[in-house]
Amino acid sequence: MKGVFVTGSNTGVGKTTVAVEIVRFLSQKQNLKVRKPVETGCSYGDTAKGPKDAILLSGACVQKEPLSVVCPYRFELEASAESASNDAGEALSLEGLVKACQENTKGSFVLVEGAGGLYSPIAKMALNSDLAASLGLPLVIVTEDKLGAISQALLTIAAAEKSKLSVLCVVLNQISKNGLSNREAICAYTKTPVISFSLDRIKEFCLEFEKLLEDS
């Protein structure tokens, strides 16, 4: 399977925002498909709140697929995927998630977005790292550019290495402007490439990311 697995150093670091821009850029140049196999915090009925991350990813992709294919597992409880599926009385398995990610993707570059951080439980007795390993995809680790980013990024890289996962890059997501030098500091402690992302330099980020893919 060819593609990348987008994960975060924590929840709420902006991995969907980063993933959407990668999809928007790359899907104009190649056959790309997106998968957000499971999303929590969804509801149904008159006050339906759909899988917002999957909707954003799907909307950015040139190649349109049914939302049920992009995100087949949706749960109402806003918690880890394992907890949310248990709450719904549904046994969510790693095998089921792998199958959902691989379905109808032959010959495509596939961007898979996980749920939560790398070590967040995503299925019964399975973490995001287990899904990435089962798919054989390199990681794109998104971390928010703020105080504490150095530790979060290095810890996630170490966790990936422990799980024998390859890391394509760390994306330092600058949600708000700051005077920190996190990129330089992270680079001093790892050989993993670090790319800065902000909404005012999306094109530059995408070109850097594309170059990394070409060189990998």
In whole angstroms, give the CA distance from residue 53 to residue 29.
22
- Structure tokens given for 200: 């005012």
- Structure tokens given for 54: 């999957």
Active site residue 36: yes
**Cα–Cα separations (whole angstroms), residue 176 to 161, 172, 200:** 30, 12, 11
In whole angstroms, give the CA distance from residue 105 to residue 123.
22
Q: Which H or E element spans position 142?
A: strand 139-144
CA dihedral of residues 120, 64, 4, 122 (deg, nearest 10)? 10
53 Cα distance to chain centroid: 10
* Look-up of token digits 């060189």: 215
Closest CA to 197 of 172, 180, 167: 172
Catalytic residue among 33, 36, 106, 191: 36
Amino acid at position 41, single letter = G
Helices 149-162 & 182-189, crossing angle to 10 degrees? 30
Beta bridge partners of 142: 8, 171
Which residues carry out catalysis? 36
